[in-house]
């Protein structure tokens, strides 16, 4: 069974909860992505990956019950607030919101939650809220950021995987596949980030290195972007979405199989 929370009736939701589903909550963001991508990029990618994940589960004839929650569209985007269009909630408010979602799930009798995150700035708040829900409700919470999943490295140059952090080939390609009408490729460029010397020379310190720096979007490039968007194509986006959707489907199946703890 696959369902969306807001499409069900109250009794229908109660019946769904009895089946011990995996609830899925997309964590997105509304923030600047340059002139070639819309402010909704992270949200569009998160919702697109969720839909592709559901299709992947259906194609496997998986019996896992999945209940999709209304997405959290605006996240913690403090690193982008210097750029016009960015909406950002304070981290404590995002944490409290995630905990409130979990409290509502627990009241409905649901004990498994997958956080499907498509925005890097949400990772810290997700970690804190997930631990609170584990302790408060004995809820299993899978913290899943798609960029942390193993990438299909053969599809892009190594340097793009390492430095294409924001508005580069990956995000642009997935948007060309998921919402091409929102992409203005005439404004796409190679937003080359040269400041991450440690990682580029094999060191440990970098923006997303073994030892990571706190960074603002303006630390990346004057445009607040990093990556070569000109490498993007709809076909690349299709392959990326399929790859990450399959991995996310694996997470759902694994989360559904974990034995619930006694309380």
Residue 153 lies in a domain: yes
Q: Cβ neighbours of residue 218 under 8 Å, at least 6 residues apart?
A: 82, 83, 224
Q: What is the mean pLDDT of residues 87-105?
A: 97
pLDDT band at 159 (very low <50, low <70, confident <90, very high): confident
pLDDT at 101: 97
CATH code (residue 170): 3.40.50.10310
Q: What is the DSSP code string of 224-255?
A: S-BEEGGG--HHHHHHHHHHHHHHHHHHHHHH
Instruction: Name, in order, each residue with C-beta under 8 angstroms of 158's C-beta and a sequence gap of 6 or more.
Output: none
Answer whether residue 263 is part of any domain: no
Helix (H, G, I), strand (E, B), or coil: what is residue 202? coil
pLDDT confidence of residue 263: 55
Confidence of residue 197 (pLDDT cuts 50, 70, 90): very low
Name the more confident of 203 and 249: 249
Q: How far is CA 54 from CA 19, 87, 149, in A?
A: 17, 28, 17
Q: Indicate if the pLDDT at residue 112 is higher than 90.
A: yes
Specify if 262 maps to a domain: no
Residue 81 maps to a domain: yes
pLDDT at position 261: 60
User: What's the whole-number average pLDDT of the chain?
Assistant: 93
The residue range of the domain holding 93 is 2-257
* pLDDT value at 170 more than 60: yes
In total, the chain counts a number of residues equal to 263
Show the DSSP H helices in 108-202 as ranges.
Answer: 123-137, 158-163, 169-178, 197-200
> Is there a domain that residue 241 lies in?
yes
- Band of the pLDDT at 185, cuts 50, 70, 90? very high
Task: Specify the pLDDT at position 62.
Answer: 73
More confident residue, 210 or 139: 139
Is residue 152's pLDDT more than 60? yes
At 3-60, the pLDDT tens digits run: 999 999 999 999 999 999 999 999 999 999 999 999 999 999 999 999 999 999 999 8
So what's the pLDDT on residue 198?
43
pLDDT band at 63 (very low <50, low <70, confident <90, very high): confident
pLDDT in tens, 70-79: 999 999 999 9
Residue 231 CB coordination number (10 Å) = 19
Structure confidence at residue 199 (pLDDT): 47
Say what the pLDDT of residue 207 is.
80
The reply to whether 101 falls in a domain is yes
Q: Of 151, 143, 188, 144, which is closest to residue 167 (Cα–Cα)?
A: 188
Q: Are 249 and 56 contacting, i.e. CB atoms less than 8 angstroms apart?
A: yes
Rounded Cα distance between 19 and 81, Å, is 42
Please compute the mean of the pLDDT values over residues 215-240 and round it to a whole number: 95
pLDDT over 70 at 262, yes or no: no
Mean pLDDT confidence for 123-137 = 97
**Would residue 205 count as lying in a domain?**
yes
Domains: count for the chain: 1
Find out whether 184 and 36 touch, Cβ atoms under 8 Å.
Answer: yes
């Amino acid at each position: 069974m696959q369902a969306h929370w807001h499409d069900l009736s109250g009794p229908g939701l109660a019946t769904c909860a009895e089946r011990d589903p995996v609830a899925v909550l997309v964590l997105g963001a509304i923030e600047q992505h340059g002139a070639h991508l819309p402010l909704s990029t992270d949200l569009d990618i998160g919702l697109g990956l969720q839909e592709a994940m559901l299709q992947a589960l259906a194609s496997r004839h998986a019996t896992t019950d999945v209940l999709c929650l209304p997405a959290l569209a605006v996240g913690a985007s403090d690193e982008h607030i210097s750029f016009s269009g960015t909406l950002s909630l304070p981290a404590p408010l995002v944490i409290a919101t995630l905990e409130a979602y979990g409290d509502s799930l627990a009241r409905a009798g649901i004990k498994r939650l997958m956080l499907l995150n498509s925005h890097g700035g949400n990772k810290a708040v997700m970690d804190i809220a997930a631990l609170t829900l584990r302790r408060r409700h004995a809820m299993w919470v899978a913290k899943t950021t798609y960029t942390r999943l193993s990438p299909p490295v053969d599809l892009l140059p190594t340097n793009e995987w390492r430095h294409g952090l924001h508005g580069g080939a990956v995000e642009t390609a997935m948007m060309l596949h998921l919402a091409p009408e929102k992409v203005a490729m005439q404004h796409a460029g190679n937003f080359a980030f040269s400041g991450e010397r440690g990682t580029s020379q094999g060191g440990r310190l970098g923006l997303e290195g073994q030892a990571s720096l706190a960074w603002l979007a303006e630390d990346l490039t004057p445009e607040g972007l990093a990556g070569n968007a000109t490498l993007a194509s709809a076909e690349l986006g299709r392959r990326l979405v399929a790859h990450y959707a399959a991995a996310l489907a694996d997470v759902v199946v694994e989360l559904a199989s974990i034995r619930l703890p006694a309380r």
